[in-house]
Amino acid sequence: MSSVTSDNSHVNSGLEGVVAAATKTSLVDGKNGRLVYRGYDIDDLADHSTYEEVAYLVWYGKLPTAKQLAELEHSLAIQREVPKEIERLIGEAPDTAHPMDVLRTAVSALGMYDPDARDNSLEANLRKAIRLTAQVPTVVAFFERLRSGKQVVHPKQSGNLAQNFLYMLFGTEPDPEVARIFDVCLILHTEHGLNASTFSARVTASTLSDMHSAITSAIGTLKGPLHGGANEQVMDTLLEIGEADRAQDVINQKLKNRERVMGFGHRVYKTEDPRATILRRHSEALGRQTDQLKWYEISREVEKTMREDKPDLYPNVDFYSASVYYMMGIPIDQFTPIFAISRMAGWTAQLLEQYANNRLIRPESEYVGPPSLKYVPIDKR
C-alpha cells in the first residue's frame, strides 16, 4: 500500500504488497488461510511428516526417499556438537542475557569456526545449512543449562532434532508424545514466505555476504515483538490474566488503552493462520495430558473476546505456540530461540535461492528533509 506522507512523498509503508523475491519454497495464501511448503499443505506435513523430512523438502525441493531421509538425519545428528570455543563463549554470556542475544552472538561466532566459512558455493552453502540446523539447538540448550547453574548436556547422535533438543534442555529423555508435539511445532515454524527475518537474511546475502552473516541478521530481526518475539509476550499476557474468567476484562482494558494483543493479527493472513488452527488442538491435548488445561482455557477466552471486539484480527502462530511451550516446561524467553531453531531450515533454503539467482537488494528512500541549506560556520550557529 502506497501512502502519501505529510511531505507529500510516496512511501510504501512497511513494503506492504511489494513482491521483492521469487521463491519455490513456500506459499503463504493469506486470503484462504493456507500455508504450503514446496507444494505440500502444512496440515498434511504436520500430520505425517517430521522436521527432518520437512527440512529436506525445503532444501532439495522434493520429499526424500527413505535412504535420502536417513542420510540427512545422520548428517544432522553427527554435527550437533559445537566447537569448545563456542561452548566457552556461551558460558561467558551473562545469566541475565536474553537467549536471543546469545543465539545471535553464537551463530555469528560459529561462522568463524565453520570449515566452509569462505566458500559460498551451492555445495558449501548446503553443508552450512545442515550444520547450522544441527548446531543451533545445542547453542540454545547449552545457554539454558549454564545460566541455571547446571552442566551442559551434550547432544546424542541418535534421536531426531526435537527429541535431542528436549533431552539437552531437561537432561532426561522426553515423553514421546511431548516430543512429537514439539516436532510438529518445528514443522509449523519452518518456513513462511518473505517474512521480516527471511527478508533480512536475503538482503544480507544479496551483497554476497556469507550464510552465517545472513542468519545473524535474521536472528536479530526475529527477536522483535512484532515478529518472533510475540510468542514470549503472549505467555506474559496469559500469566497476567491468570484465570479464564479474567480474560475478557484484561483484554478489553488492553484494547481500550490501544495496546496490541500479542499473538493476533498478521500482515498476510486475513483469515485464521492455519498454523494456529493446528496448534490450538495441540494446546488442548497437551493441557489435558499435563493437567494444565487452564492455559488453553485462558487462550480460548482471549480469542472469544478478540472475536467480539476485533473480528478482523485472528490468532497467529505465536498465540497457541506460547501455551504449548509453557506446558512443556520451557522457559518463556526461550520461546523465540525455539522459533529460530525451526526457521533455520526455511531461512537457509531461501538463502540458497537468493545465491542461485542473486541481485543486490537495494530499494530507495524518498528524501523528505530540507531542500538546500547554506552551511553555517560553527561559531555562527
Q: Is 35 in the site for ligand COA (CB under 6 A)?
A: no
| Interface pattern 307-326 for ligand COA (x via CB under 6 A) | ------x--xxx--------
171 interacts with ligand COA by CB under 6 A: no
Binding ligand COA (rule: CB under 6 A), the pick from 139, 230, 341, 349 is 230
Provide the grid cell at 309.
471486539
Instruction: Report how far residue 202's alpha carbon sits from residue 214's, in angstroms, rounded to the nearest whole number.
Output: 7
Nearest distance in Å: CB 284, ligand COA: 20
Q: CB-based contacts of 157: which residues, under 8 Å, 6+ apart?
A: 77, 78, 80
Q: Give yes or no: 318 in active site.
A: yes
Compute CA distances 34 → 43, 252, 312, whole Å: 9, 30, 17
Rounded CA separation 335/325 (Å): 7
- Stretch 263-302: interaction string toward ligand COA, x if CB under 6 A: xxxxx-----------------------------------
DSSP 78-95: TT----HHHHHHHHHS-T
Angle ∠(245,249,254) on CA atoms, nearest 5: 135
Closest CB to ligand COA among residues 117, 196: 196
Grid cell of 66 as nine digits: 527413505
For ligand COA, give the closer residue by CB, 139 or 235. Answer: 235
Catalytic residue among 266, 291, 309, 333: 266
Instruction: Give the Cα separation of 80 and 210 in Å (integer).
Output: 21
260 binds ligand COA (CB under 6 A): yes
Q: How many residues bind ligand COA (CB under 6 A)?
A: 15
The nearest distance, CB 236 to ligand COA, in angstroms, is: 12
Q: How far is the CB of 267 from ligand COA (least distance, A)?
A: 4
74 is catalytic: no
Our CB check for ligand COA shows the closer of 99 and 229 to be 229
Q: How many CB atoms lie within 10 A of CB 326?
A: 22
In the chain, DSSP finds a helix count (H) and a strand count (E) of 16, 5
Nearest residue to ligand COA, by Cβ distance, number only? 265
Residues that are catalytic: 266, 318
Site for ligand COA, rule CB under 6 A = 14, 226, 230, 260-267, 313, 316-318
